[in-house]
A and B are shown apart, each in its own frame.
Chain A
């Protein structure tokens, strides 16, 4: 999975509520109906990258089953980034679709 795409997916997932790493992976897998499967080697470097860039913040907290887990939250900068990247993605996806669906003349 391309890094920008994964970044966008993570940002979108965190837009709704803070989650831990496993939660993020699960959510992406569920919503994409199993199309996107996130491995540790893709997810965690992306999370660290986003945190270094200031798009997300992390905090250790108790999980639903009372275990300490690292929860990731979207920051204000992250939210702005989500908006612009999402628009950019939609524009390019639209363009992609148009090109692929164009009839031969």
Chain B
């Protein structure tokens, strides 16, 4: 407690404490003087002697203040207040700096929040680093990642020691109805160890028991047939359809017209095996299953001491063994084990990191701009600095003052930036709606620290040069400068020009990057997918085996549907296929095929199977490369026929005609027999422009009816206009099969390049910002140059220089800055654009057209930035200058 109150007074009553000291000191001197007067000295002399003996009150007062608590803080506050006054003297440049830093910090903070939520933060499940996604791969067939074959999972579990568990799943839309409303809900059927492996407990109720799983038999992957089926529902579904009913457990709902008993509700945010799943049903995967049907999703939990790489190696050894044991199904098939977080996030991570790097560059340009403004402010103040040095201020003090100015600027910018970031974060979900894990993006403590870190870094970077420069003022030169009206030394101008060159270089790097992305995006959009999506509406139909147990019944449903749809006004063609290009819905599976009479089983080629109706090729405007499309001749009683993709035809019968040959398709459930090839379909890029054409076979739906069908409706106008009519038609035919997922095919096709679009738009915006800032720099430096050389210009004009010479002089300086910047930028772009390589389509990172157009753009914009300074140079009035000179 001792001395505590004294310290408090020093902190909070500084002014009174100081006043009391002054009073006390004056009294002291007065008393001393009084003593001297008593000894006979005159009043003035006594006071003089006392002051001489005791020392100056002012000096003591300062010494006292320095010793008191909070002195450093007070000093800092004074300096900050001074910096604020200095900054306010130039409101324009200050506002510009604050806005520049603010926007830079806001954008980088929002991006960091995205990266933090989407990429960096572990998945919200227990021990997430042990969770992996597993997919099959086949290098020889060019299959990078595909579903896992059901038959292999049991062997994996038995033979590998790396896993605590491996679970399989398959998700698809199923019609769910409670009471009267029917709706399609993304439903995952999951193997027994799915929930135990994730170690997630339901919010309400429980997960599946072993008995429940064993009872859950499926006649095919899409048709559950077990007794007393059970279901777990998602939090959103529970809230929306059941009003969060606490007594939900035990209630019954109907999935595909079969009653399912609800046993649990998952917590909010549970998004496995994929985002959007709102219902889980058990699936007994044990027992004999085919090893050549790669459609199963698989996740695994590693044992605590096993790395992803080790698990991958071990599982591949197991897969190789299986390949030797079952060569006809497993040869050549390997496995890919990757962290589940990577599987969930996918390519979004790459986009984010590239944008993050880009925004870092923009922030650097912004720092350079702020530094430039500070340096120029410093030049304006070199006389003041010189004076302060001459009067005894130290370079250290000037340096600190300059730092504090940068700090104040950065702090203001940081505050603005944080406010903008908070607003920007609200907007983010609507800007990038298809990003994974968006609900996990938040203004967390980590994001806040990042913002503070960026602000500090900005202060340091933007304050470094000005501070260094300010501290190196030479008093004599500075003071002389005041009288001769020239400002700055060659070195100081070097710094200024260097900053602008850096800015131009950074802007050029960003321009090149975004230019490449633009070219790549245009190439993606121009790529021929092999079909024409314009004007096509896609209606996914998922019939259930409950109401449509036989092929006859589903055929009848589709026949009725097609007749009704074709009769709608504006409809040109209607066709259906089990899966459509670029649609994530519908089964996309492979079957081994081979020309009849092939001796070696190993020459079998896996081909993607599509069951299609005759109108399909017309509805999507496929090319028929040879032969004929399916038609009424290919009915259920007719001999079996097939159409093959160009790629498959070329592989099976290179250089020969495929039409008329017999192709054997191994369709496990119905046996193996030959089909006559009646036509060859032009190649299709099934998963978007980046995907390679595949080996595909088309079978007529009439001969091979299927419950699932994606119906394509081609109309004259906007396919969206058809939505109400299609909805009504579907409800009319079967009220328990409502419409869902009605989407224009164009939207699905565009979605395959949406990340390219996002990256391009964002990078373009960043590049535009960087160019704008760099041009501000060019403009600022040239303007300053004209201002400083006012007198020289005046003299030149008086000596007969004409305006074009003056404009030339300014422009030459400007183009020199641009030229150097472009050169440095180009050298920097070379290694950096390599980072974009994996992103580019149809354009090389060293694309000359991009480089040339970017150069052209830079110089055109640069020319605009030079206009005003050039014009100013021509308006100098020689008479005024000379008279003032």
Binding site for B on A (CB under 8 A): 20-22, 25, 37, 39-41, 44-45, 48-49, 51-55, 60, 67, 69-70, 75, 77
Contact = CB atoms under 8 A, between A and B. Distances in A.
B25 to A, nearest CB: 6
B2 A53 contact: yes
B6 interface: yes
B598 interface: no
27 contacts: A22-B27, A22-B28, A22-B31, A22-B32, A39-B54, A40-B25, A40-B29, A40-B57, A41-B55, A41-B59, A41-B63, A44-B21, A45-B60, A45-B63, A45-B67, A48-B64, A48-B67, A51-B3, A51-B6, A52-B3, A52-B6, A52-B69, A53-B3, A54-B3, A55-B3, A60-B20, A70-B24
Contacts of A55: 2-3
Interface of B: 1-4, 6-7, 10, 20-21, 24-25, 27-29, 31-32, 53-55, 57, 59-60, 63-64, 67-69
B448 to A, nearest CB: 37
Contacts of A40: 25, 28-29, 54-55, 57, 60
Interface centre among B2, B7, B10, B20 (most CB of A within 10 A): B2
B23 to A, nearest CB: 8
A39 B60 CA distance: 10
B180 to A, nearest CB: 82
A64 B7 CA distance: 29
B13 to A, nearest CB: 14
A37 B24 CA distance: 18
A69 B20 CA distance: 10
A52 to B, nearest CB: 5
Given A67-B27, A69-B27, A77 B60 contact: no
A53 B69 CA distance: 12
A41 B21 CA distance: 12
Most buried by B among A41, A53, A69: A41
A39 B63 CA distance: 13
A55 B6 CA distance: 11
Contacts of A49: 67
A77 B20 contact: no
A44 B53 contact: no
A41 B1 CA distance: 27
A39 B53 contact: yes
Most chain B C-beta atoms within 10 Å of own C-beta, residue among A20, A21, A40, A55: A40
B238 to A, nearest CB: 65
B4 to A, nearest CB: 8
A77 B3 CA distance: 10
Closest 6 A/B residue pairs (Cβ) = A54-B2, A54-B3, A22-B31, A41-B55, A40-B60, A40-B54
A21 B24 contact: yes
B34 to A, nearest CB: 9
Given A48-B64, A51-B6, A70-B24, 12 more contacts: A20-B27, A21-B24, A25-B28, A39-B54, A40-B60, A41-B55, A41-B59, A41-B63, A52-B7, A53-B2, A67-B27, A75-B2
Contacts of B68: 48
A27 B633 CA distance: 129
Contacts of A60: 20
Contacts of B7: 52
A61 B67 CA distance: 25
Nearest to A24: B28
A79 to B, nearest CB: 12
Interface centre among B27, B29, B69 (most CB of A within 10 A): B27
A77 to B, nearest CB: 5
Nearest to A46: B67
B35 to A, nearest CB: 8
B306 to A, nearest CB: 63
B20 A70 contact: yes
A33 B1 CA distance: 37
B2 A45 contact: no
Nearest to A76: B2
B64 to A, nearest CB: 6
Contacts of B69: 52
Contacts of B4: 54
Q: Which of B7, B28, B57, B59 has the most CB of A within 10 A?
A: B28
Contacts of A70: 20, 24
A39 B2 CA distance: 27
A30 B831 CA distance: 83
A37 B67 CA distance: 22
B2 A44 contact: no
A75 B1 CA distance: 12
A22 B57 CA distance: 14
